[in-house]
Structure 1
């Protein structure tokens, strides 16, 4: 974060993280916790990053990367809520597509991967093994 401009005073609260509010040169903003490592400020802890294009991430950070639990909201209406690792969807999460369909289950490096459930725009729920864009052997759940 050495290329960012500080928009407010940095405040240290005892031994804990540093609370900051930054405006990046490209218009992005970050409000939340940071830590200092080798003289460089890094997002670490919890905070909200809003891109100039309207993408909003709220959640946990580690060494300047989305890492831990959080939500990523896109201007298109797409929303991911769940686990992140190294700036990627990784772990258990839920992805809401702009058309109203959803996927809930495991992610691996931004890809659907494993035993999950997809709910289509008509409300039908399909379960099975997902591998990226492929999903072999899906079963439709019936509400009887």
Structure 2
């Protein structure tokens, strides 16, 4: 154990998930993911980034087997804060997330490479504007 109480582990969960990274031991003896690490689920979903209180908290990247990728801020295992979500079809959203939802100012790049800016709220984005690059 290091002076700060952080351990480096490689752990395989009973369901086949794997965690390679930092953790700490709580006062009651529980081991919790804390610091930086990578978790690969048995289904192929991979998270690499910061952990706190045994949850994805801070900056990280979550990759899904479908090809979808999220890079940005997490809070309690959810997309929360600034980030970019790359959809499997090549489109992407960059902006603000709130509890796994697109919410606030952002940019959506469509399949033709056109960038739409505005405010997003869950499934709606009224009044988007096309951004011109000149």
**TM superposition score category, shorter chain reference:** over 0.9
Structure 1 consecutive aligned stretches of length 4 or more whose deviation exceeds 4 Å: none
Residue 103 of structure 1 pairs with residue 93 of structure 2: yes
Q: Cα deviation per residue 1:92-115 (whole Å; 9 max; x = unaligned)?
A: 000000000000000000000001
The match for 2:25 is: 36
The answer for unaligned runs of 5 or more in structure 2 is none
Q: Any stretches of 5+ residues in structure 1 without a counterpart?
A: 1-11
| Residues paired across the two proteins, number | 133
Q: Calculate the TM-score normalised by the size of structure 1.
A: 0.90
**Deviation of residue 16 (structure 1)?**
4.3
Indicate the SS of the match to 1:83: strand
Paired with 1:30 and 1:23, the residues of 2 have a C-alpha distance of 6
2:5, 2:25 within 8 Å by CA — same for their partners in 1? no
The answer to whether residue 51 in structure 2 is matched with residue 69 in structure 1 is no
Helix, strand or coil: the match of 2:124?
A: coil
Q: Does 1:53 align with 2:58?
A: no
Shift of 1:142: 1.8
- Aligned: 1:120 with 2:120: no
Task: Tell me how far apart the structure 2 counterparts of residues 58 and 33 of structure 1 sit (CA, whole Å).
Answer: 12
Deviation at 1:133, TM superposition (A): 1.0
